Amino acid sequence: MAIKLLTYDKMAQCETLVIGVFSDKKMNVTGLPKHAEALLQRLQTLGDIAGKSGEIHVLYPEGPGPRRLIVCGLGESVRLGSAEISKALGRAVKRAQALKAKDAALAVDTFAGKLLTPERMAETAALTGVLAMYQYQEMKSLPALGDRVTFPRLYLVSRNPAAISRAADAGEVIGEAVNYARTLANRPGNKLYPQKLAEEARALARRHAQLGVSVMLSAQLAKTGFGALTAVGGGSAHPPVLIELKYRGGKLKDAPVVLVGKGITFDAGGISLKPPAKMEDMKFDMSGGAAVLGIFKAVAELRLPVNLVGIIPAAENLPSGSACRPGDVVKSLSGQTIEIINTDAEGRLILADALTYALRHKPAQIIDMATLTGAVVVALGNAASGLISNHEALAAELQAAGELSGERTWRLPLWDEYRELLKSEVADMSNMGSKPGAGTVVGAAFLEKFVEATPWAHLDIAGTAYGDAGPVFAKGATGAGIRLLVQWLRQRKA
């Protein structure tokens, strides 16, 4: 996409300038043309521009310089973090697009509050611009090309572009990685099934020499003992696969971080069939796997000094004569047996085998991402991903990275009362709780049984992986987890 950086004296070439305004301090208009500066100060004095969060104005100043000003309300400067900045910038970029502006120049200095450094502000601005200008269109037919959405060219305007150049580049890299994952998750199930997802992983590795990839096919999975994964994928004409990615950027002796992403490319629920309403959204059930691929793309391009392994168990969960049934007992890769009470609780089954496989790498930490439970949407809505962990320091690091990246998490407990609900009369455990309620934590308690003593965190992204159009994202996939975990990997101490 190539976001260009400009100084204020060069912004006259831009058609549209985007400015941030706080509710608790005077507008930062240094560097603007005098006539535009006077107009903005007058409107703020009159109270017509109050700087309230979500407020947006479009002005057309007379005179030289940008012909259009988009003014974004930011709220109080002491409360402005990455999430709030992203929403304000997203609204501005989408307003510029709706106005068919040929460009949008973001005056990053005007968005600087008390919580973000200039570098973080520039990274957030570049990243948000990339995210806001994404629209999934690859399934549109050729006659509809004239109706395709076009977006303005994006600039970042700063008094010192050299100081923020690397940060802006990083934001663009991360944004493109998120959009790559969004495209994968947005593809319908007839276009992206387990083998196609494996092909995408191979293609990603071909484009990035630092990445290695291997794919375990269904016959090898069965032979190796992936009983839970093969049971879930048994009802589909597209057999399951296990995708493994490797990146070595750290020291040879450093234990790797293992990322595990749920890759259910379509989830009909199996024999425990889902109701038809919104079943089309179950193409998004591989969002965890897509996020793993997006993270590897970003890590390779940022050249992060970390050793990383990615594991994506991929399957379709469909009903058929060969599908697993409620009441079936399967033997997982760990050797533990599982009574399948509900075939629509399939994500935890494929993750169980993937987490066991992850232990073979003797990891420093394991983090899994999955659209695991509808219960997390009840608990947290779409504002945060659920976080459950067996390790206090890891959980705290992820929460801090979430605040800094704008992808928030909320930690939920992992107590013995929830573990007790997984007991089975006929197997080592059940894949469902014996009582209603606490579905998100019970799902995590199930996964915990397969990580032994390794520091582990589970991110339930069912509420954040996709949704309706908002300030930043178009309707559809969001690439949830990528910004969070890339930030965590960047600040992580080996």
Q: Pairing state of beta strands 337-339 and 329-331?
A: antiparallel
CA distances from 254 to 205, 296, 407 (A): 22, 18, 27
**Which value, in Å, is the radius of gyration of the alpha carbons in the chain?**
24
- What is the Cα–Cα distance from 47 to 441, expressed in whole angstroms? 48
DSSP H or E segment with residue 354:
helix 347-358
Residues in the chain: 494
Q: Is 348 a catalytic residue?
A: yes
- What is the Cα–Cα distance from 297 to 392, expressed in whole angstroms? 28
- What is the Cα–Cα distance from 201 to 207, expressed in whole angstroms? 10
> Is 361 in contact with 256 (CB distance < 8 Å)?
yes
Q: Is 408 a catalytic residue?
A: no
> Which ranges of 72-132 would DSSP assign to H, the alpha helix?
82-98, 118-132
Cβ neighbours for 311, distance < 8 A, ≥ 6 positions apart? 242, 243, 244, 245, 258, 259, 260, 261, 292, 354, 357, 358
Catalytic residue among 95, 297, 348, 449: 348
DSSP H or E segment with residue 215:
strand 211-216
The 10 Å Cβ neighbour count of residue 396 is 12
Catalytic residue among 153, 159, 274, 411: 274
The 10 Å Cβ neighbour count of residue 46 is 9
DSSP H or E segment with residue 386:
strand 385-389
Tokens of 167: 């940060």
Q: What's the number of CA atoms in the CB half-sphere (13 Å) around residue 150? A: 10
Q: What's the number of CA atoms in the CB half-sphere (13 Å) around residue 258? A: 24
Q: In 3-state terms, the chain is what percent helix, strand and coil (to 5)? A: 40, 20, 40
Q: What is the set of active-site residues?
A: 274, 348
